[in-house]
Amino acid sequence: MTFDELIALSSAPDKVGAFVSAYRTSQEGRSIGQRDLLPMRVLAPMLANITMTEYVDNDTIIFRIAGENITDRLGFNPAGRNTLDLIAQEKRDEAVALHDVIINHPCGSYVVYESVFQSGRRAKSESITFPLRKDASTDTFFFLSYHLHHEATGFTEVGEPTALGLSEILKELIDIGFDYPEVPNALNKPVHEPAV
Q: Whole-prediction pTM value?
A: 0.83
CB 50 within 8 A of CB 147: yes
Q: What are the pLDDT digits (tens) for 110-166?
A: 999 877 665 667 778 899 999 999 888 888 899 999 999 876 655 444 444 444 446
- The structural domains of the chain, with segments of one domain joined by +, span 3-178
Average pLDDT over residues 95-108: 92
| φ and ψ of 162, to 5 deg | -75, 135
What percent of the chain clears pLDDT 70, i.e. is strictly above it?
80
Rg (CA), the chain: 16
Asked if the bond preceding 106 is cis, omega within 30° of 0, the reply is: yes
CATH architecture of 3-178: 2-Layer Sandwich (3.30)
- Round to whole Å and give the CA distance between 12 and 70: 18
Across the chain, mean pLDDT equals 83
List all residues 6 or more positions away from 13 whose beta carbon is below 8 Å from its beta carbon.
7
- Round to whole Å and give the CA distance between 77 and 70: 8
Q: Find the angle CA(151)-CA(153)-CA(158) to the nearest 5 degrees.
A: 100
Per-residue model confidence (pLDDT) at position 152: 63
